[in-house]
C-alpha cells in the first residue's frame, strides 16, 4: 500500500505504523478476503437463500457441511474471519496513510504528474477508510423494516407493525417517529410483465404538526425526517365476509393481503386464511381480469377489469373442496360457510430504512473515483503519448 516505496525491505520498521503499514499485511489480507468472498459466493448464504435451499445444499454436501458450519461460513460476510480481515485492512490502510504522511512521502517529488499520483494515492486510501467507516455505521446503526398497508390503512412506526425488522446492534430503540397512511396504490402492467409500473400515494405525519403527502414510485424512494420509504411491491387485498350457517358462530370479516408470486414472469395473487374456530384453511386466488374457458376461469390480464376470487377449503389432512369462483360483490356457499367477496383494495409494501452510513459511503464513492482519476491519469497520458510516438499497430 505504500506508494513511493519500491523496496519495502529497506523500509524502517521502528514504529508500529511501519509494521502495520507493511505491504505483506495488505497482500495477506486481500488474499484472505478473496478466499472468503469466493467461499461466500459459492456456499449458499443465510439471508440470501430460503432456509429450505440451504438445507438442501447441506444435504447434498454432507462432508463439507460440518466444517463450513463450524467455521461460520454459511454466513461468511458476518463471520468473525471476515470482520477481523476488514478490521485489519482498515488498520493497515490507516497505518499506511499515517506512515507515509509522517515520512513526508506523499507530496514529495518535483514532477507535477508525480504529485498528482501521490495525491490520488492518498485520496484513494482515505476513500477506502471512509467507505469502511460508512459500512460500519450502516451495520451498527441501521434500521430496516417492511410495512404492508392496505389502501385506507394507517400504521405507526412501531415494532409490532413491521412484518420484519432488522436493527443494528448499536442502535438506540426509537418508536413512533411517524404515522403512515396509504391513500392509494397503482400497478400498471402493460403486458402482464412481472415488474410493471408501480406507484403509491402515502401521507406521513409526525409530532402531530408535520404532515406530508408523497407519490412514491419504484426506484424513487421518499425521505421523511431522515427515514427512507422505498416502494417494494403492490398486490391485492380482497375483503371477505365469512358467515357460518349455524347461528352460534359469529361472522368473520377481514381484508387479506394476498401474496404475489412470480410464475413464468407472470404475477399470481394467492394466499390462505386459517378459519377461526376451525382447523381448515380457506385458499384464495385472485384474477384481476378473467374469462371462462370450457367452464374453467382463466386469468386474462393484470388490469383490474372484472376481478374474481377462486376459493376452496383445505382440511388438515389435505382434502380439498371443489374450487368455486366468486365475483366482486357476490357470495358463494362452501359446505357450511357463506363467503362474500365484498370489496377489493390494493396493498403496498414499503421498506422503511434509516441508514446513517449511506451518505458516508456515497462520499467515499466520489472520493474513490476522483482519486483513481488522479492516480492513474498520468499513466494513461503516458500510454497515449507512447502510442503516438510508436504509431498504430
Provide the binding-site residues for other proteins, judged by CB under 8 A.
1-3, 5, 8, 23, 26-27, 30-31, 33-34, 37-38, 40-42, 44-45, 47-49, 53, 77, 135, 138, 144, 190-191, 193-198, 217-221, 228, 230, 232, 265, 351, 353, 355, 358, 361-362, 365-366, 368-369, 372-373, 376, 379-380, 383-384, 387-388, 390-393
Cβ proximity to other proteins: between 254 and 384 the closer is 384
Q: Positive or negative, the Cα torsion across 109, 112, 114, 117?
A: positive
**DSSP classification of residue 9:** G
Cβ at position 337, least distance to other proteins in Å: 38
Cβ at position 330, least distance to other proteins in Å: 33
- Burial label for 184, CB within 10 Å (0-12, 13-18, 19+), is middle
Cβ at position 94, least distance to other proteins in Å: 17
Residue 158, classed as helix, strand or coil, is: coil
Cβ at position 59, least distance to other proteins in Å: 16
Sequence-ordered list of residues with C-beta below 8 angstroms from that of 271, at least 6 positions apart, any chain: 256, 257, 258, 259, 283, 284
Cβ at position 315, least distance to other proteins in Å: 33
Residue 2, classed as helix, strand or coil, is: coil
Cβ proximity to other proteins: between 240 and 371 the closer is 371
Cβ proximity to other proteins: between 31 and 66 the closer is 31
Cβ proximity to other proteins: between 49 and 325 the closer is 49
Cβ at position 219, least distance to other proteins in Å: 5
CB contact burial 83-103 (16+ within 10 A = b; e otherwise): eebbebbbbbbbbbbbbbeeb
Q: Quick one: cell of 280?
A: 381448515
Cβ at position 340, least distance to other proteins in Å: 34
Cβ proximity to other proteins: between 96 and 256 the closer is 96
- Burial label for 14, CB within 10 Å (0-12, 13-18, 19+), is exposed
Question: Which runs of E-coded beta strand occur in the chain?
Answer: 143-150, 154-156, 164-167, 179-188, 197-206, 210-217, 222-224, 227-244, 252-255, 259-263, 266-274, 281-287, 289-293, 296-301, 308-314, 324-327, 331-334, 337-354
The answer for 226, left when phi > 0, alpha when psi is -120 to 50, beta otherwise, is left
**Residue 257 and residue 347 in contact, taking contact as beta carbons nearer than 8 Å:** yes
Cβ proximity to other proteins: between 107 and 365 the closer is 365
The separation between CA 348 and the C-alpha centre of its own chain, rounded to angstroms, equals: 16
Cβ at position 358, least distance to other proteins in Å: 6
Cβ proximity to other proteins: between 317 and 386 the closer is 386
Amino acid at each position: 500500500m505504500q506508494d513511493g516505496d519500491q523496496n519495502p525491505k529497506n523500509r524502517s520498521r521502528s514504529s508500529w505504523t511501519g509494521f502495520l503499514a507493511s505491504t505483506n499485511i495488505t497482500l495477506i489480507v486481500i488474499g484472505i478476503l478473496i478466499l472468503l468472498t469466493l467461499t461466500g459466493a459459492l456456499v449458499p448464504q443465510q439471508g440470501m437463500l430460503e432456509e429450505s435451499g440451504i438445507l438442501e445444499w447441506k444435504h447434498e454436501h454432507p462432508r463439507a457441511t460440518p466444517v463450513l458450519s463450524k467455521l461460520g461460513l454459511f454466513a461468511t460476510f458476518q463471520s468473525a474471519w471476515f470482520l477481523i480481515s476488514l478490521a485489519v485492512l482498515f488498520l493497515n490502510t490507516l497505518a499506511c496513510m499515517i506512515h507515509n504522511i509522517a515520512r513526508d512521502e506523499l507530496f514529495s517529488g518535483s514532477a507535477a504528474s508525480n504529485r498528482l499520483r501521490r495525491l490520488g494515492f492518498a485520496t484513494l486510501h482515505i476513500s477506502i477508510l471512509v467507505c469502511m467507516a460508512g459500512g460500519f455505521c450502516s451495520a451498527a446503526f441501521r434500521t430496516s423494516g417492511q410495512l404492508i398497508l392496505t389502501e385506507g390503512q394507517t400504521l405507526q412506526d412501531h415494532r409490532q407493525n413491521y412484518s420484519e425488522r432488522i436493527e443494528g446492534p448499536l442502535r438506540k430503540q426509537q418508536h413512533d417517529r411517524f404515522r403512515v397512511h396509504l391513500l392509494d396504490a397503482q400497478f400498471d402492467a402493460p403486458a402482464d410483465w412481472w415488474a410493471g409500473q408501480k406507484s403509491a400515494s402515502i401521507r406521513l405525519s409526525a409530532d402531530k404538526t408535520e404532515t406530508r403527502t408523497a407519490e412514491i414510485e419504484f426506484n424513487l424512494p421518499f425521505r421523511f425526517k431522515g427515514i427512507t420509504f422505498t416502494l417494494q411491491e403492490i398486490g391485492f387485498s380482497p375483503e371477505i365476509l365469512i358467515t357460518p350457517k349455524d347461528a352460534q358462530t359469529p361472522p368473520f370479516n377481514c381484508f387479506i393481503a394476498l401474496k404475489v408470486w412470480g410464475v413464468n414472469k407472470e404475477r399470481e395473487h394467492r394466499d390462505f386464511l386459517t378459519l377461526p374456530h376451525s382447523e381448515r384453511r380457506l385458499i384464495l386466488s385472485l384474477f384481476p381480469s378473467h374469462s371462462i374457458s370450457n367452464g374453467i376461469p382463466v386469468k386474462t390480464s393484470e388490469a383490474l377489469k372484472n376481478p374474481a376470487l377462486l376459493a376452496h377449503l383445505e382440511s388438515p389432512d389435505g382434502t380439498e373442496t371443489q374450487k368455486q369462483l366468486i365475483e366482486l360483490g357476490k357470495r358463494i356457499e362452501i359446505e357450511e360457510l357463506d363467503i362474500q367477496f365484498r370489496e377489493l383494495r390494493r396493498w403496498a409494501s414499503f421498506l422503511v430504512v434509516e441508514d446513517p452510513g449511506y451518505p458516508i459511503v456515497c462520499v467515499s464513492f466520489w472520493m474513490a473515483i476522483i482519486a483513481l482519476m488522479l492516480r492513474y491519469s498520468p499513466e494513461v497520458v503516458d500510454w497515449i503519448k507512447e502510442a503516438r510516438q510508436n504509431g498504430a499497430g
